Amino acid sequence: MSIAFRVPVTAPVKTFLRLAFWLSCAWQIPAAAAPPGDASGAADQGLSELGTGFSTRVAQAFEIQRGKPLARAKKEPPLGPGRGQYVRGYSFSLVEFATRCLLLNEQVPEANAALIENARHYLENPDDLSDRDNFHWHSEMLLRLIEMYGAKGREAAGRLGPEAETEILAAVWQYARRVSKLSDADADRSQTWEVHESENHHLQIITTLWHFVQIARELPEYREMKFEDGFRAEEHYLAWTNYLKAYCLERARKGLFIEAGSDNYNGVAIKGLYNMFDFAADPELARRAGLLLDLFWACWAEQQLDGVRGGGKARIYQGGDSLSGRGSHIARLAWFYFGLGQPPKSVFCPMLSALTSRWKPAQVLADLAQDPSSRGNYAVRQRIQGLAVPGFHTLPVYHLRTDQGGILNYAWCTPGFVLGSLMFEARPGSDWAAISSQNRWQGVVFSGDPEARIVPQVQSENGDVVYNAHWSVQERGALITQKLKTHRFGKSMRVWFSESGLSARHEESGWFFVTAPEAYAAVRPVSGGTAWEPAPPGRLRGAWMVCEDEWTPVILEVAGKTEWPSAEAFQKAVVALPIRQEAGVVHYTSLAGDTFRFWADQSRPPEVNGRRVDLAPRLAFDSPFVRGEWNSGVITVSAGDRRLVLDFNSPPERKTQTNP
């Protein structure tokens, strides 16, 4: 067994990466040259820490845009009363163009002009600068460009001109001088679990503040300037560096992110971690940032098929986000890292920090992501945060309880499907931080098609948002779920069946059956009839099973085709499963032989095999591949004969051990 400890990429490796990148640009290697699975593609798909396959894919993505002029996005009206213009897309278009040009060393004057234009827009429009949906969505990339191409740039010093660098720093200063407060950076008081705006906003904000003050403390024009709280850049730098080191440790100790599995929000949350890994002057901060990226991608890899993450999730908006695996930030990055899924149509601004970073997935992460058939059938259990301190469950600042999260993220993973849910007690909505209870997702994703899925869902009154919508219990391939009485903005209980990747539905004895390429699935409400509603006109195809009784528990059974001789045998076994409801309690025995007791009156937590589900197990991360004790900060990632130890507490030994 090979045991590796994660360390930053060394200077010689960096030189190799740069050489591989530019050689691949010159060769313009087509995406179809080495498809996954053939001999020539094996080396490309078997990504190592050198990341040669990644570099090739990144090079091509930028090279194909060479010579194209700036396509400036429009400035949009405010998103609400009293707010600035919505200019996120406008800034994205300028930064995407500038990054590509600086990286390829073409249209450099135009790239500088675009960045000057962007900075001056915010300097001249302070309401836009302070609006929470604008500046910090791209500010990490502005600071990365200074680090790479500014006067002291590590890649090509001076390619970013002095005027552009000055204007960028002026804009970030106007943002940071107001937003950065030493009181917010007090990790001893908050344990980093006081979350401003939302989790992804919070991490975008604080990584921008840290990066700016790290740069500003060295500059004569900023080092003595006082922020609105009366302190200088050096004091802010020390505070935010210590805070972010504690932040990384706490996420490793307590189950990673609150916005669990939210590919788009996770994608924008982690982009600042790449800057910390690449540019932090404090080596321990750089190390912990890299470890947190390792942990994030390990947890993603073990719950995904074909680049589509399964398992329980939070903050997955109803509509396209919940019903399709296409187009998320993380799915796009997965193609660059692992060659999974389809190539993105474009390079999107929130991806730029990752695509230009020295951080690459270790080989063990590639092994875990790229070969689901070798992983077999297994459960993933992960404790995550969600419970709020009383009175602090909503904006402007969420206070999370640090004693326990109250949520068990459970997924049953097989080569043909991943079925997952978040399990928790039936509590009032005010017990949960809204960033946890909003749009929780459960269901099954199938291999072979990014849209192949079955999704039980409480319909939203307003079209895309519902809070504290349902509660569920799951063991292996069986899931029982029900609409919660304490929901907010919920309507009917319904179940989505995609048309893509699934056979036509077959109904028997109240069960609805479908077949996927490698799995069989069945769904039924415990009580009441059903009606079918087709998907509204649009790209997604499928239908909703709408329960006539909005409070009925709904049962979902999924099994791999290798477990049954035929679809008929699976259907016969499902129809014979014992289901009864007595005194408000549903008694059910699953295909796997697990017994469930589910209190439909929501008076008691569910039981599986005679025991309540343990929502606070000893392990924060518990699977055959990612394992670590609650509050320990030490996680082991395994795949095959490789093992990666992520120790957030102290610097690891820089050595590799090989067992005979």
33 pLDDT band (50/70/90 cuts)?
A: very low
Higher pLDDT, 11 or 259: 259
Interatomic CA distance for residues 52 and 409, integer angstroms: 34
C-alpha gyration radius of the chain: 25
The SS3 of residue 263 is helix
Return the pLDDT at 32: 28
Domain ranges within the chain, ordered by starting residue:
68-179, 381-617
Return the pLDDT at 22: 38
Query: What pLDDT, in 10s, does the model give residues 158-186?
Result: 999 999 999 999 999 999 999 999 999 99
For the residues 416-423, what does the mean pLDDT come to?
98
- Joined together, the tokens standing for residue 583 give 């005194």
20 pLDDT band (50/70/90 cuts)?
A: very low
Interatomic CA distance for residues 300 and 309, integer angstroms: 7
Interatomic CA distance for residues 94 and 349, integer angstroms: 9
Tokens 């440790």 identify what position? 249
For the residues 418-431, what does the mean pLDDT come to?
97
Query: What pLDDT, in 10s, does the model give residues 56-90?
Result: 999 999 999 999 999 999 999 999 999 999 999 99
Query: What pLDDT, in 10s, does the model give residues 322-338?
Result: 898 777 899 999 999 99
For the residues 130-143, what does the mean pLDDT come to?
97
Interatomic CA distance for residues 288 and 276, integer angstroms: 9
Return the pLDDT at 367: 95
The residue among 199, 195, 185, 193 whose CA lies nearest residue 242 is 185
Higher pLDDT, 20 or 385: 385
The SS3 of residue 621 is strand
Return the pLDDT at 350: 96
For the residues 511-521, what does the mean pLDDT come to?
97
Distances (CA, A) of 304 to 227, 331, 367, 375, 415: 44, 10, 13, 11, 10
Say if residue 491's pLDDT is above 90.
yes
28 pLDDT band (50/70/90 cuts)?
A: very low
463 pLDDT band (50/70/90 cuts)?
A: confident
- Could you give the percent of the chain with pLDDT greater than 70? 91
Query: What pLDDT, in 10s, does the model give residues 263-286?
Result: 999 999 999 999 999 999 999 999
Return the pLDDT at 525: 98
Interatomic CA distance for residues 609 and 589, integer angstroms: 9
- Could you give the percent of the chain with pLDDT greater than 90? 85
Instruction: Tell me the pLDDT of the chain averaged across its residues.
Output: 91
The SS3 of residue 533 is strand
Say if residue 552's pLDDT is above 90.
yes
pTM of the predicted model as reported, rounded to 2 decimal places: 0.91
Do strands 634-639 and 194-196 pair parallel, antiparallel, or not at all (unpaired)?
unpaired
- Joined together, the tokens standing for residue 601 give 């009156």
Return the pLDDT at 48: 38
Query: What pLDDT, in 10s, does the model give residues 575-616?
Result: 999 999 999 999 999 999 999 999 999 999 999 999 999 999
Backbone dihedral angles phi then psi of residue 446, each to the nearest 5 degrees: -115, 150
537 pLDDT band (50/70/90 cuts)?
A: confident
- Joined together, the tokens standing for residue 348 give 């999107």
Query: What pLDDT, in 10s, does the model give residues 217-255?
Result: 999 999 999 999 999 999 999 999 999 999 999 999 999
Backbone dihedral angles phi then psi of residue 472, each to the nearest 5 degrees: -150, 160
Worst-scoring range by mean pLDDT, 44-48, 62-66, 87-91, 258-262? 44-48
Say if residue 50's pLDDT is above 70.
no
Return the pLDDT at 16: 36
Say if residue 631's pLDDT is above 60.
yes
For the residues 630-658, what does the mean pLDDT come to?
82
Return the pLDDT at 538: 83
Return the pLDDT at 404: 86
Worst-scoring range by mean pLDDT, 12-26, 61-75, 472-486, 556-570? 12-26
34 pLDDT band (50/70/90 cuts)?
A: very low
Write out the E strands in 368-463. Answer: 378-384, 397-399, 407-413, 417-423, 443-446, 453-460
Return the pLDDT at 346: 86
